[in-house]
Amino acid sequence: MFAFLKSAFQAKPQFAAGARVNRLFKGSLDRIDGRVVAQTHEGVLVEWPRNGAGWEQPATLCQQG
C-alpha cells in the first residue's frame, strides 16, 4: 500500500499534445493559455501566445479544464 501511494505522488504529470495549460510560479498564475507541443523525459514543450515556445517542468503546469 505504501509503495503505491509513494509512486502516485512521484509520478510526473502527463500532458497530451494540444492540451491547453497554465504555468504556476510561487502559487500564482505566471503564464496562461499555453499549448503543449510535446513532452519528453526532460520536460514539456509549451507554445505561449506572447512569449514564444519554451521547455517547462511538468510539475509547474496545470491543465485547463
Asked whether the predicted pLDDT for residue 61 surpasses 90, the reply is yes
Answer for the pair 56, 10: CB distance below 8 angstroms, yes or no: no
pLDDT at 43 over 90: yes
Q: pLDDT grade, residue 65 (50/70/90)?
A: confident
Q: Is pTM, for the whole model, over 0.85?
A: no
State the pLDDT at residue 36. 98
Distance CA 61, CA 45 (A): 11
Q: Which three cell numbers stand for residue 48?
A: 505561449
Judged by average pLDDT, the poorest of 3-17, 22-36, 39-53 is: 3-17
The DSSP element (H or E) to which 63 belongs, if any, is strand 61-63
What per-residue confidence (pLDDT) applies to 13? 86
Quote the CA–CA distance of 23 and 2 in Å, as a whole number. 30
CA distance 36 to 47: 6
Which letter does DSSP use for residue 13 in this model? P
